[in-house]
Structure 1
Amino acid sequence: MTLSKPPSEPTRTDRLLAAVGGLLAAYVSLAVADLAAFWVRPEASPVPAVGGAVVDRTPAAVKEWAIRTFGESDKAVLQLGILIILGLLAVGIGLLALRHRLLGSAAVGAFGLLGALAAVTRPDSDSALDAVPSLVGACAGAVLLYALIGLLFARRARSGSGAARADRRNFLVVAASAGLAATGAAAVARAVGSPVEGNAAASRAALRLPRPASPAPAVPAGAQLRVPGISPFLTPNRDFYRVDTALVVPRVDADGWRLRLHGSGVREELTLTLPELMTRRIVERDITLACVSNEVGGPYVGNARWLGVSLAELLREAGVRPPSEGGPADQLVARSVDGMTIGTPVEQVMDGRDALLAFGMNGEPLPFTHGFPVRMVVPGLYGYVSACKWIESIELTTFAAYDAYWVPRGWAAQAPVKTQSRIDTPRSFARPAAGTVMVAGVAWAQHRGIRRVEVRIDEGPWQEARLAAEDSSDTWRQWLYPWTATPGRHTLTVRATDGTGATQPEERTDTMPDGAQGWHSVVVTVGEG
């Protein structure tokens, strides 16, 4: 006879085993779902799907706190938090199943339905197959929990300590076998790799970047100062900041990638493949990118050598005119394969600056984390209004007609980069020896350039720093101030003046709604020489 209710009041051991059964059912559910997602697409796995839904619904202030607190580990922290919550719920479901066996298994199924709903309603979902991983995983977890709780029911129904020990042993054998099987299957799947990810990796490895028709000018010899601790003029790809909402980095197969250009003012809709894009006039430029979430003195800024095609040339060939020339569209909405939308002013894209559709970064194809196969790069604008990664479509519209992803969440629709400067060395709370200390760092005001950098020691007068050679107005500029340091505690402050003559304001502001501003300071304690 199948028991659906416990034959007697459960013991403490029963409760402990039921909690273990709930945790194990959740683990097997996630492992089986991940295994299924390898064959559908990794983004359809329940934790990324639910996590993505959480990210989309999280208030902007909370997102900013997460970025400030956890930096680029914010996504890992979110997923860890989801797993902890799932673990606590799994314990509760296990205890529920101990009293109502069918109800416990039904609860596992309900969470599977929630994961499936999250997966198919993600902006990047284009198939009902995205529901399969969560549903298959939930079925596996529900069956396992039902079987494990059945063994506990049998243990309570049978009399005698020997029989009870045997049933408990059966419970542990089934639990361990299920856990090991799920772990092994998941490990094999990860070792073999997802077909989707494998195809994408192969397409990137096979990509050969073309030579630029318009190469980047040689970096001036004096653009890189020889000061230990200063940011390098060109940021290595591995060190380039990453701020986005993708819990699973999209792995796009370049062979199947397409870019669609359409919308208001487009004479004829275009669809381009990557080979077609790469047959156009190739442009190479050094451009500094900055994230609007970068606080004063923050790390979310980097300079790279980008290779791609002129976005303005492509737009003009499609018949697009900027508003200043009577064009009907004032906003370009770029869409990513993960559903992100980025709104960029058409006027700025077509005003002569080097706005690119980039497929190369520092001499190699774009890394997956930075938008392979193609991304947008627009100097002088914060990334959230210009730097669409994994781009798949460009629509011409108006700011009045459409709000891109970040605008309803409290960010400004338009956001030119603000003039900023940062002290890289010495670090805050450093303890340099008395004598000459090299105070150095970087300053940026893309598309305006940096005219002057000044340093102040404590409340003393501003002293002009030595500027490194300028590569272009679209890149950051290094600076250096030799300081004769005296023993004691000191505050070092920096400010910059851009190419228009405007100096950074002193008052610090938050990153919302259009970027932080203010002077960067560090506190150091100078020892005896």
Structure 2
Amino acid sequence: MQARRYWGLAGLVCVAVGVALGELLAAFTSPAASPVSAVGQAVIGLLPGQVKEWAIHLFGTADKTVLLLTMVLVMGLLAFSAGVLEKARRGMGMVLIGAFGVVGLAAVAVNAQASILAYAAPIVAAGVAMGLLSWVRGRFLDDDLALHQASELRAAKMAADSKGVSGKQKTPTRTPAAIRETSAREASRRKFLVTMGTGAALAVVAGGASTIFRRASVVVTELRAMVRLPMPKKPAAPIPAGAQLDIPGITSLVTDPETFYRIDTALVVPAVNSDTWTVKVTGMVEREITLNYAQLLAKPMVEEHITIGCVSNEVGGGLVGNARWLGWPVRELLAEAGVLPGADMVLSRSTDGFTAGTPLEAMTDDRNSMIAVGMDGEPLSLVHGYPARMVVPGLYGYVSATKWLMELKVTTFAADQGYWTPLGWSALGPIKTASRIDVPRSGAKPSAGQFTAAGVAWAPERGISAVEVALDGGSWVKATLAEAINKDTWVQWKVSLDLAAGGHELKVRAVDGEGTVQTATLAAPAPNGASGHHTVNFTAQ
């Protein structure tokens, strides 16, 4: 049983049990910051901006799932290596497992959601894993090593004794001692494998239990279900009858919350208890203000359809959505606090440690910037920021759309920076005029003849005044615009094309409400948003 795979298996199972028990402990002591989630959050924070952008581009909203799976794979390989190292040299596997614990402690130390009790989980995880590996070695692997060495010596002696005087090889005879040693080794192997199976089962049970107990989101979901949103003082205007075009395949005018894009830095969705939640206004203000959830809901609310988008959205991409938001204008909160002269930025902070630096002007002018509590008539879902988040028309989310809001610090761009700015992204983040072709998709094969192309265009805070398309490099042709809900939302468009059989290329561009034509200059999302004309290639049949 001395093969490396057995030692590696021992390391893998022992570490799995340790991690699972550490996660279970965290479920009771620090559910917001378990060792695994803290390490994952730290990894997200340490990754260069280009790597994060690549991950979002490649995996979209599944980027966190991919990160978790990668973490599990890496931890498994390191745990296997710890067992193999322990075979090579006693204590080396323990050192590697101890390094696991140190990494976990460091990740907890820098996690914004960690309490003092959170430090216990990585210590327990590493301690249990080291203790188990030491026990497994003493109970099975060391004894088997002695048997294996004795067996090798006996085999060598038997091989030497089996040669007669003539030097010819004789058939060796197995002695009773050799038979007993073989039997003992087989029994040891069976007990080892049973023990490893039991350990693996324990890890699965403990991991499942930690997931169940850590689901504070269950409690928060129940609290959310009891929330009754107030009637807005200023309801959203009714959606115009002609705003939604009846064209199969076109993007819905209002995005379903279940499919609304999610891009944030939280590896695990924060479960924020609205009964204890507060938001604070601090920094360059005459008076600091703390507001709880009940007080926020009692404020005079406004409701409006607003399109928001992620700066990581590629030309023609889907990281943009339109919803009906309910919230309290943030300018009224800042007015109560009394902004001091010299301030030019509001740094909003999330419970997961994320920050966004928003120009003060965007928070205090007449746009519908709000502390939102509702989305499409329902309280915010957990993934979209329950109990409260920021919504600021006209700015990319990385400088405005802080979810799980906990603080608004009035400050200056010279003194503070949001999460993404030190990573190379621009500080202001205005949303660029953009348009997208939804029908046809690239690779589509519509019938030749009359065909209706359609899509959406957006320029929040400026609105859309025109959309134009160009077929096969020809001149720009004006599309028909559906009626806009307001200047802060996207607008649908359509155009009739006469398609000849064969391949085609279709481009689109928009003109914003100020008369500025969408640029054709190609630019990647970094550092201030992608640009260029969305182009699709298709074949008419």
TM range (shorter): over 0.9
Counterpart of 1:196 in structure 2 is: 216
Which among 185, 199, 223 is matched to residue 164 of structure 1? 185
Q: CA deviation at 1:201?
A: 2.2
Name the counterpart of 1:212: 232
**Pair 1:353 & 2:364 matched:** no
Match status 1:488 vs 2:476: no
Cα distance in 1 between the residues matched to 2:520 and 2:506: 14
Q: Calculate the TM-score normalised by the size of structure 2.
A: 0.91
Asked whether the 8 Å contact 1:216–1:286 carries over to 2, the reply is yes
Question: Measured at CA, do residues 367 and 511 of structure 1 come closer, stay the same or move farther in structure 2, by a change above 3 Å?
Answer: same
After superposition, where does 1:230-269 map in structure 2 within 5 Å?
230-264=250-284, 266-269=285-288
Does the CA contact (< 8 Å) of 1:283 and 1:310 recur in 2? yes
* Cα distance in 2 for residues equivalent to 1:208 and 1:503: 43
Give the Cα separation in 2 of the matches to 1:98 and 1:149.
9
Instruction: Specify the SS of the correspondent of 2:242.
Output: helix
Percentage of matched positions with identical amino acids = 45
Over residues 399-456 of structure 1, what are the superposed CA-to-partner deviations in whole Å (9 max), with x where a residue is unaligned? 0111111111001110111100000111111111112222111000001000000011
**In 2, Cα distance between equivalents of 1:495 and 1:503:** 7
431, 438, 442: which one aligns with 2:456: 442
Structure with larger Rg: 2
Q: Is the 8 Å Cα contact of residues 96 and 104 (structure 1) preserved in structure 2?
A: yes
Where do 1:31-430 residues align within 5 Å? 31-125=20-114, 127-150=115-138, 151-158=140-147, 160-191=181-212, 193-194=213-214, 196-264=216-284, 266-320=285-339, 327-430=341-444
State the Cα distance separating 1:460 from its structure 2 match.
Answer: 0.9
Contact map agreement 1:152 1:168 (CA 8 A) in 2: no
Q: Deviations over 1:438-483 (max 9, x none)?
A: 2111000001000000011011111100100011000000000121
Matched residues in 2 for 1:238 and 1:499: separation? 30
What is the CA-CA distance between 1:31 and the residue it aligns to? Answer: 1.5
Cα distance between partner residues in 2 of 1:354 and 1:104: 58
1:514 aligned residue: 528
Deviations 1:11-56, CA, capped at 9 Å, x for gaps: 6x43111011111122212211221221133442222211211211
Label 1:87 to 1:186 Cα distance change in 2 as closer, same or farther (>3 A). Answer: closer
Unaligned runs of 5+ in 2: 151-180
Q: Is the 8 A contact 2:20 2:210 kept in 1?
A: no
Tell me: CA distance 1:249–1:183, structure 2 relative to 1, closer, same or farther (3 Å). same
Q: Which residue of 1 aligns with 2:166?
A: none
How far does residue 124 in structure 1 lie from its aligned partner after superposition?
3.2
Q: For the Cα contact (< 8 Å) 1:201–1:253, is it kept in 2?
A: no
Secondary structure of 2:82's match?
helix
Shift of residue 100, structure 1, vs aligned partner: 3.1
Q: Compare 501-510 and 38-47 and name the one that shifted more.
A: 38-47
- Matched residue SS, 1:248: coil
Q: What SS does the aligned partner of 1:335 have? A: strand
| Cα displacement (A) at 1:507 | 1.4
Contact 2:81 2:93 in 1 (8 A): no
- For 2:540 and 2:215, locate their aligned partners in 1 and report how far apart those are by CA, in whole Å: 57
Write the distance in 1 (CA, Å) between the matches of 2:132 and 2:196: 8
The change in CA–CA distance for 1:106 and 1:214 in structure 2 (over 3 A counts) is: same
Considering only aligned residues, what root-mean-square deviation do their CA atoms show, in Å? 1.4
**Would the aligned equivalents of 1:454 and 1:463 in 2 still touch at CA under 8 Å?**
yes
Are 1:156 and 1:164, in contact at CA under 8 Å, matched by a contact in 2? no
Cα-to-partner distance string for 1:177-228 (whole Å, 9 max, x where unaligned): 111122123324434x337334322221221111111100000011100011
In the alignment, what sits opposite 1:5?
Answer: none
- Encode CA deviations 1:222-264: one digit per residue, 9 max, x unaligned: 1100011111110010010011111011000000000101211
2-structure distance, mates of 1:453, 1:111: 56
Asked if 2 retains the 8 angstrom alpha-carbon contact of 1:101 and 1:149, the reply is no
Name the SS of the counterpart of 2:466 in structure 1.
Answer: strand
2:116 and 2:332 mapped to 1: Cα distance?
Answer: 38
Contact in 2 for aligned 1:14/1:152 (Cα 8 Å): no
- Greater shift, 47-56 or 331-340, is seen at 47-56
Name the amino acid aligned to 1:184: V
The CA distance in 2 between the partners of 1:38 and 1:74, in whole Å, is: 24
Residue aligning to 1:324: none
Task: Tell me how far apart the structure 1 counterparts of residues 278 and 265 of structure 2 sit (CA, whole Å).
Answer: 22
Query: Does the CA contact (< 8 Å) of 1:28 and 1:140 recur in 2?
Result: yes
TM-score (structure 1 length as normaliser)? 0.93
Are the counterparts in 1 of residues 30 and 118 from structure 2 also a CA contact under 8 Å? Answer: yes
